[in-house]
Amino acid sequence: MKIRLKGVPIVVSAPSGAGKTTLINKLISKLYKEIAYSISATTRPSRRNEKDGVNYFFLSKEEFKRWIDEGKFIEWAQVHNHYYGTPKKMFKETLKKGYNIIMDLDVQGGINIKKRYPDGIYIFILTKNVDILKRRLTRRKTDTEESINERIKNAREELRFIKEYDYVVINDTIKKTIDTILAILIAEGCLTKRNSSIIRLFKKNL
């Protein structure tokens, strides 16, 4: 599937439990020739089956703060009592090579990237209602009840920034949601602003 995008950040944000990590993995498997994954650094503990350097770069707080001081992040934020950040070198090199880069970011990170890259694609994932979100958080069995309540509280705060995003997609079923995001990417690839070189060449040969 050709999406006709080249070298743009695709930011996907969502409240915890909305399923954005699963969606991103599915998108990467479908678009592996056209898209790269931005591996974030974090101070949170790794979950079952997560690998350092694959899912995240797992750092101690001291290491993370040292990376901040050394200017190694293009953006970073504190979320759910842990630090998250996007390593600058890998991000810039990926875009420079012409690859689209998909990013799993909270709203703070998404807004920070949008300030630097306003022509990126910004997608916010939601569930149909809060009850579904709570059930998903409980079902994954990685959070305490206190942590789940904190994440629901944070979701209310995150929704304040939803207007900063270009698209809102309701994650009803995985297939439907993936098809919707792919449709967004295809449409974005057809925008006139992303096809200026083709338009110029066409005009030149008229």
Whether 3 has a pLDDT exceeding 80, the answer reads no
- Residue linked to tokens 């699963």: 22
Instruction: Please choose, from the candidates 70, 108, 102, the residue with its C-alpha nearest in 3D space to the C-alpha of residue 89.
Output: 70
Predicted confidence (pLDDT) per residue in 63-116, tens digit: 999 999 999 999 998 887 899 999 999 999 999 998 999 999 999 999 999 999
53: left (phi over 0), alpha (psi -120 to 50) or beta: left
Cα–Cα dist 176/174, whole Å: 6
170-179 residue pLDDT tens: 999 999 999 9
Whether 117 contacts 9, CB under 8 Å = yes
Sign of CA dihedral 154, 75, 50, 181: positive
pLDDT > 90: what percent of the chain? 65
- Look at residue 28 and tell me whether its pLDDT is greater than 90: yes
> Which neighbouring-strand residues pair with 103?
11
pLDDT tens digits for 142-153?
667 777 788 888
Walk me through the domains of the chain, giving residue ranges and CATH numbers: 10-204 (3.40.50.300)
pLDDT of residue 70: 97
pLDDT, average across residues 110-136 = 92
Q: Is the pLDDT of residue 45 over 80?
A: yes
Q: What was the pLDDT predicted at 49?
A: 84
The larger pLDDT score, comparing residue 154 to residue 86, is at 86
Name the helix (H) or strand (E) containing 178: helix 174-189
Residue 131 confidence class, pLDDT cut points 50, 70, 90: confident
